[in-house]
A and B are shown apart, each in its own frame.
Chain A
Amino acid sequence: MKMIFTIAGKELRILFSSPMAWIILALLQLLLGLFFSNAVGHYFEAMQGAMAPEQRVGFTAFVTPQVFGIAVMVLLTAVPLLTMRQIAEERKNQTMVFLFSAPVSLFEIVLGKFAGLLAFVSLVVGILLAMVLSLNVATDLDIALVLTNALGLWLMAAAFAALGIFMSSLTQQPIIAAIISFIALVGLVIIDNFATDPESPLNYLSLMRHFESFSNGVLNTTDIAYFLLFITAFLVLTVRRLDSDRLRG
């Protein structure tokens, strides 16, 4: 357990010692801030318009899903950029040996790396959450809805990170890892568009479908389980992949 935190700390330190993490944080913040102020600005316009009174929704229900929905899309591009270096670059720089020769198991290495990314993701989600909650000063927010959305976004980003780490373990080239993870993630997000009937298994695979309940403020255990399984599956695959490195050389 201690080792996991040591590795996570190392990952964070390396992440923040390059400009990459700061640039990603700054740009994410700029982008999400723009969408946020835009959503707030549009609320009255939309509600005053031709909309029938029964179709009108509350302020929280209007702004939150929009902002968090956009945040999912933004993280979809940002997380592969963060995860791409995790294993690919260590391989390239021959620093993987450092972790392999230390008395830590492969699970600890992978979990440590994942924990480091989770900390970064939590920071992004935390800042976004603080931004949305700041509206509570001016109006009464549906806090529960905001928190569910944040949890959904956090799980979603964690799932992105798990897949990204796995893709990074497949190659030596960080850029290739980023591209493969991005394509895989886009595929998993829009896969439900290809479903012809509502019972199609493609719907179950889609990350976006499982995010919808969170975005509506519903805590659905099926969806939570889906994300946890998704994360576990890719982390286990990464461990397997690293193990085969050791076996095959």
Chain B
Amino acid sequence: MDVEFIHNGRQYSLFRLNFQSYRRLTTVRRFFNLAAFQIQNPDIADSMNTVTVEVTELTRAYGDHVVVNEVSFNLNQGEVLGFLGPNGAGKSTTMKMLTGNLAPTSGTVKVCGIDMIEHPKEAKALIGYLPETPPLYKELTVDEMLALAARMHGVPRDKVRRAVASAKERTGLTEMSKRLCENLSTGYQQRVGIAQAIIHNPMVVVLDEPTRGLDPIQIRDIRALIRELGGEHSVILSTHILPEVEMVCDQVQIIHQGQLVFNGAIEALKKSRESDRLLVGLRRSPAFEALLALPGVAEVEQAGNMLRLRFEQLTADTVAEGVVRAAVAGDWGLYHIAPDTTSLEDVFLQLTQMEDLTT
């Protein structure tokens, strides 16, 4: 980044400031530095402080085969971004590029304004990464492994012990300190993987399918941990479990065949689930005309032994109220009325298969 600013008649490069601070200072001091910078330079600082990950037109091709195609997104501090997609959609490839494990064919990745390709060391210091397979040295104990991870990520020698203890506590590994990584169950190995990703308190945590191989209780714990991480750091997690995304993420991205097919807040995805249809069960169904006469109802069709009403203009509860009132007055024998929701799975399928249908 070649942003420079002038202070007291001297020219500073923004980058040099970042280098020194990121390399040596702890997270807290990092924030101070950013804050100090913000005061001096409000325009640039505005985008620096909030945007932690900036991905522009990231593309990766193996020969002619394009795995990730012009993916762009931004992530703000404190947000949890869910990366959804069917197997082989390019999730892991994108994550590898985000963490500097794979060089993109074109496009850029910036972490807190630092370019991953031009300054990999500084950018990597801000990221914690859990790959698909937790990268554990089988010969080391949990404590040794975490201490190694802390030192490798530049945690000062005197703070390593504390960092290890807190990472173990957050991932529920305290009991396992002296066990060899080799002898741990898959779930615990996964936890050690997460612990090594968060040990240096990174600005961005990238987790590739963090709940894989865990039992339901562990999954709940890990989800809570991810939410907690989202409070101070940015978290990017990939998964193909939809309820997980709904539970922990603020932002969702659906990637399919290397392309982003959806990118937005989780609310938008939830909203797209809300349908404009009611499923109504009537024992003595009147003629369709009687139903069409009800306020808001635009279309009626038979759905098994029930009726599906499509409505317009009015909201679902107003229409439902009208249907119930009419049913009681007309003695239609109403036994079921509910919004005809599409599941998140349906939305997902719609989004990922839209392209297949159009082509």
Q: Which residues of A contact B (CB under 8 A)?
A: 3, 6-7, 10, 13-14, 17-18, 93-105, 246-247, 249
Contacts and interface: CB of A to CB of B under 8 A. Distances in A.
B126 to A, nearest CB: 9
Contact of B138 (A7, A13, A93): A93
Contact of A101 (B62, B124, B138, B151): B124
B100 A100 contact: yes
A98 B135 contact: yes
Interface hub of A10, A97, A247 (most chain B Cβ within 10 A): A97
A6 B149 CA distance: 10
Contacts of B127: 101
B121 interface: yes
Nearest to A96: B135
Given A17-B140, A95-B135, A102-B124, A246 B154 contact: no
Interface string B16-35: 00000000000000000000
Interface residues of B, number: 33
A102 B137 contact: no
Contacts of A3: 152
Contacts of B101: 97, 100-101, 246
B136 interface: yes
Contact of A247 (B93, B103, B125, B132): B103
13 contacts: A6-B152, A13-B144, A17-B139, A95-B137, A97-B135, A98-B135, A101-B124, A102-B152, A102-B153, A104-B121, A104-B152, A249-B96, A249-B102
Ranked nearest first, the 5 interchain pairs of A and B with the lowest CB-CB distance are A98-B135, A103-B125, A17-B139, A102-B152, A103-B124
Contacts of B149: 98, 102
Contacts of B120: 103, 105
A6 B100 contact: no
Contacts of A95: 135-137
A71 B138 CA distance: 32
Nearest to B126: A103
Given A10-B148, A103-B120, A103-B154, 5 more contacts: A7-B152, A14-B140, A98-B149, A101-B124, A103-B152
Contacts of B100: 100-101, 246
B230 interface: no
Contact of A103 (B60, B93, B121, B133): B121
Interface in B152-195: 152-154
A98 B132 CA distance: 12
Given A14-B140, A246-B103, A97 B131 contact: yes
Contacts of B93: 249
Contact of B131 (A6, A17, A94, A105): A94
A44 to B, nearest CB: 48
Nearest to A112: B152
B136 A18 contact: no
Contacts of B139: 13-14, 17-18
A240 to B, nearest CB: 14
B122 interface: yes
Contacts of B122: 103
Given A97-B129, A249-B62, A13 B103 contact: no
B196 interface: yes
Contacts of B102: 246, 249
A3 B155 CA distance: 11
B73 to A, nearest CB: 20
Contacts of B62: 249
A6 B125 contact: no
A102 B138 CA distance: 18
B69 to A, nearest CB: 15
Contacts of A96: 135
B125 A14 contact: no
B259 interface: no
Nearest to B153: A102
Contact of A14 (B124, B135, B137): B137
A6 B148 contact: yes
Contacts of A101: 99-101, 124, 127, 129, 131
Interface hub of B129, B137, B196 (most chain A Cβ within 10 A): B137
A82 to B, nearest CB: 15
Contacts of B138: 93
A93 B149 CA distance: 17
Contact of B137 (A10, A104, A105, A246): A10
Nearest to B157: A2
A217 to B, nearest CB: 41
Nearest to B180: A17
A94 B153 contact: no
A99 B153 CA distance: 10
Contacts of A14: 137, 139-140
A98 B121 contact: no
Nearest to B127: A101
